[in-house]
Chain A
């Protein structure tokens, strides 16, 4: 079993839709949870960074962490074609601080 599971999609939505992206994980030592956006053939860029359980909002993006269920989500409101990219969840904790990534979900927002 992978430490972090993420549905690779692809996910296709119309412009303006609310997008929900999710990851599950198995390691209860994870304490820091991140969402990265990666455009084709580019490096990942950090979107959201959350410590422990709870919600965090930044503009059209909301990150949720439920440590009891080992489940994290990223919501994108009023999705735009420019949001089309691969979204990677990542998490770290324990002693190493090593980042563990999900497989990434490919999102396409159609105009």
Chain B
């Protein structure tokens, strides 16, 4: 149980294009999902908290117009990197918390998406 998937696992795109990454909770409902970014040999940095049916909450320094988040259902959140540039190349990881659980309960992480912008 508690499986989170991400699609695609790896994507290469040209500078200026937009890329959509999907995060799905496969066997549970997740009102809240989180999006992290991880640069090589660095920690996971929270980008935004995604809540089903409402606007995402972005961390300081994260451009909401560049990283569009849509949490349209209890099992799916999407992150769209708009007008991607080489500096957006990173490992993007989502996590999900089961509906009804408090904020102190476990987040289940997806396998990550490697984005390379040429």
Contact = CB atoms under 8 A, between A and B. Distances in A.
Interface residues of A, number: 24
Given A32-B104, A44-B109, A101 B114 contact: no
Contacts of B93: 43-44
A99 B46 CA distance: 8
Interface in B93-115: 93, 95, 102-104, 106-107, 109-112, 114
Interface string A64-88: 0000000000000000000000001
B43 interface: yes
A32 to B, nearest CB: 6
Query: Chain B, interface size: which category?
Result: 20 to 34
A98 B46 contact: yes
B42 A103 contact: yes
Contacts of A44: 44, 93, 109
A41 interface: yes
A54 interface: no
25 contacts: A41-B91, A41-B114, A43-B6, A43-B95, A43-B110, A43-B111, A44-B109, A49-B106, A88-B43, A92-B103, A92-B104, A96-B103, A97-B102, A97-B104, A98-B46, A99-B34, A99-B44, A99-B46, A101-B43, A101-B45, A103-B41, A103-B42, A104-B41, A104-B42, A106-B41
